[in-house]
Amino acid sequence: MKVAIVTGASRGIGRACAIKLASAGYTVVINYASNDAKANEVLNIIKENGGDGMLYKANVANYDEVKEMVKTVFDTYKQIDLLVNNAGIVRDEPLIGLNKENLDMCFDLNVKGYFYCAKEVALKMARKRSGVIINMSSVSGTFSLPGQTVYSATKGAVNQFTRTLAKEMGSRGIRVNAVAPGFIETDMIDTLSDEKKAEYLKNIPLRRFGNGDDIANLVVALASDSMSYITGQIITLDGGLSL
C-alpha cells in the first residue's frame, strides 16, 4: 500500500489527480477547504472503482491545520508516500489595481501552504528515507501573461522552492518535482467567453486546452519508481503555449 495526500482535491486538477492515483493503487487522502459535497463525490468515485481513501477538511494556508492533518494521516496509515501540493487560487489583476487582500491570499495559499505541507510530510518521509513531493506550478511561473503579476510571482516561487527542496531532500531519499500546466479545462476556463477561448487557442500549437487527466497522468508517472532518477525538475504541460 502507498498513501498519497492531494491538497485541493475536491475539484479541477486535484480531483483528477486523486482519482487517477487511486486507480494506480494509492490510498488517497482528499484534502479540501470548503465543499463537502464535491469532496464526497471524489471519494465515492474512488470507492466505486475499487479504490480507498479518506477525506480531510483543512485550510493548508493554516500551519496548525496542516500539522494536524499530517499527524492524523500518519497515525491512521503509519506512512505517507506522496504529497501533491495542488491547492491554490488565481486572482488576476494588474499591479496598479493590486488589492492587498488578494496579494496575501495568493501568497498564503500558493506559497506558504506548499511550504507547510511539504515540511510536515517531509518529516514523516525522512523516517523511511523514501517519498515523493509534487508541486503544482503553472506555465505562468516562466511565461508572462498580463494581469498575473501576483500569480506568476507565486508560481515562480514554487519553481525555485521545488529545485532547492530537491537538493535538500535528495540525500534523504525524497524526490521533489513540479508540474507546470498551461490552460486546463477547469472552472476557470469555463468562465471564459467563446471569443476569449478562441483567442487563447490560437496561441496553443496543439489547438486544444488540456484536461485534468493530462496532468494526472504525469503526476502518477512522476510518483512511480520508474521515474526514480528524476528530481528538481519543472515539467511543463501546455500544448506548446510557451514555445
User: Does residue 73 lie within any of the structural domains?
Assistant: yes
139 in a domain, yes or no?
yes
Residues 58 and 75: their CA atoms lie apart, in Å, by 17
How many CB atoms are located within 10 Å of the residue 22 CB? 24
- Domain contains 72: yes
Compute the residue count for the chain: 243
How many structural domains compose the chain? 1
Count of other CB atoms within 10 angstroms of residue 64: 10
- 188 domain residue, yes or no: yes
3-class SS at 239? coil
pTM of the complete model? 0.95
**Catalytic residue positions, numbered:** 151
The owner of cell 531519499 is 173
Q: Is residue 242 part of a domain?
A: no
If you write DSSP's letter for every residue of 208-238 in order, what string do you get? S-B-HHHHHHHHHHHHSGGGTT--S-EEEES
Residue 217 belongs to domain spanning: 2-237
**CA 80: distance to chain centroid?**
16
Residue 134 covered by a domain: yes
Least Cα distance to 111 among 148, 162, 43, 146 occurs for 162
pLDDT tens across the length of the chain (243 residues): 999 999 999 999 999 999 999 999 999 999 999 999 999 999 999 999 999 999 999 999 999 999 999 999 999 999 999 999 999 988 777 788 788 888 999 999 999 999 999 999 999 999 999 999 999 999 988 877 776 789 999 999 999 999 999 999 999 999 999 999 999 988 767 777 888 889 889 999 999 999 999 999 999 999 999 999 999 999 999 999 988
The CATH number of the domain holding residue 14 is 3.40.50.720
- Does residue 227 sit within a domain? yes
In a domain, residue 45? The reply is: yes
